[in-house]
C-alpha cells in the first residue's frame, strides 16, 4: 500500500519515468532494426558482387581453356594466323570495382590479381601479334607464335581458378 500511495503522490514523476523509459526503448529498438537491415543489405551486396565476379571469371576461364586447347589441337588457319580479340571483357568487374572492398582481403587480392593478369595478357597480345588494318579490336597472331599464345592463355587459368575458388568458399561459408 505504501508504494501505491507514493505513486499516487508522485504521478507526474512516475508518468515521466515510464514515458522516458518507453522513448529510450523505442530509440534503441529502432536503431537495432536499422543495423540489422543495413547488415542484411550488405550481405546481399556481397552476395551479388561475388555471383557477378564468379560468373564473369568462369566465362574467362572457359574461353581461355577452350582457345588454348584449340590452338594445341588444330592448325592455325589457312592464312597461317589467328585473330584474337583484345577487348578486356570485364564489364562486371568495372561495374563493381567501387564495391570490391566489401569482399575479404584474400578475395580482393585474388580477384584483383586475376583481372590484372587478364589486362597483362591483353597488353602482351600486341607483343605476339599485330593489329590488322581493320583496327585494334583484334590482334593477328602468326602461326609461329601460336604456342606462345597458348601458353599465355593457359597461364591465365591458375589466377582465375584461385579467384573463383576463394570466392566460392566464402560464398559457401555464408
Check which CATH number belongs to the domain holding 146 and give it: 1.20.120
Mean pLDDT calculated for residue range 69-76: 71
Helix, strand, coil percent values for the chain (each to nearest 5): 80, 5, 15
Domain that holds residue 118: 42-173
Mean pLDDT calculated for residue range 17-26: 92
Distance separating the N- and C-terminal Cα atoms of the chain: 56
Q: pLDDT digit string (tens) for 105-164?
A: 999 999 999 999 999 999 899 899 888 877 778 888 888 888 899 999 999 999 999 999
**Number of domains making up the chain:** 1
Is residue 77 pLDDT above 70, yes or no?
A: no
Q: Taking a C-beta distance cutoff of 8 angstroms, is the pair 48, 92 a contact? A: no
Nearest CA among 152, 84, 83 for reference residue 121: 152
Q: Residue 21: inside a domain, yes or no?
A: no
Q: Residue 18: inside a domain, yes or no?
A: no
Residue 50, classified by CB atoms within 10 Å of its CB into exposed (0-12), middle (13-18) or buried (19+), is buried
Q: Residue 62: inside a domain, yes or no?
A: yes
SS (H, E, C) 113-145: HHHHHHHHHHHHHHHHCECCCCCCCEEEEEHHH
Q: Taking a C-beta distance cutoff of 8 angstroms, is the pair 83, 138 a contact? A: yes
Q: Residue 124: inside a domain, yes or no?
A: yes
Q: What is the pTM of this model?
A: 0.79
Nearest CA among 162, 157, 158, 170 for reference residue 50: 170
Q: Residue 19: inside a domain, yes or no?
A: no
Nearest CA among 167, 153, 165 for reference residue 63: 153
Q: Residue 163: inside a domain, yes or no?
A: yes
Amino acid at each position: 500500500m505504501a508504494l501505491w500511495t507514493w505513486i499516487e503522490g508522485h504521478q507526474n514523476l512516475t508518468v515521466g519515468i515510464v514515458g522516458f523509459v518507453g522513448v529510450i526503448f523505442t530509440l534503441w529498438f529502432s536503431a537495432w532494426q536499422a543495423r540489422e537491415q543495413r547488415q542484411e543489405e550488405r550481405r546481399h551486396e556481397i552476395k551479388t558482387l561475388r555471383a557477378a565476379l564468379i560468373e564473369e571469371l568462369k566465362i574467362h576461364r572457359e574461353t581461355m581453356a577452350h582457345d588454348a586447347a584449340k590452338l594445341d589441337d588444330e592448325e592455325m588457319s589457312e592464312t597461317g594466323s589467328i585473330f584474337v580479340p583484345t577487348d578486356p571483357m570485364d564489364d562486371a568487374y568495372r561495374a563493381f570495382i567501387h564495391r570490391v572492398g566489401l569482399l575479404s582481403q584474400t578475395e580482393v587480392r585474388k580477384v584483383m590479381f586475376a583481372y590484372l593478369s587478364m589486362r597483362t595478357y591483353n597488353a602482351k597480345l600486341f607483343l605476339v601479334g599485330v593489329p590488322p588494318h581493320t583496327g585494334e579490336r583484334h590482334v593477328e597472331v602468326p602461326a609461329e607464335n601460336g604456342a606462345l599464345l597458348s601458353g599465355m592463355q593457359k597461364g591465365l587459368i591458375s589466377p582465375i581458378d584461385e579467384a573463383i575458388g576463394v570466392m566460392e568458399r566464402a560464398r559457401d561459408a555464408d
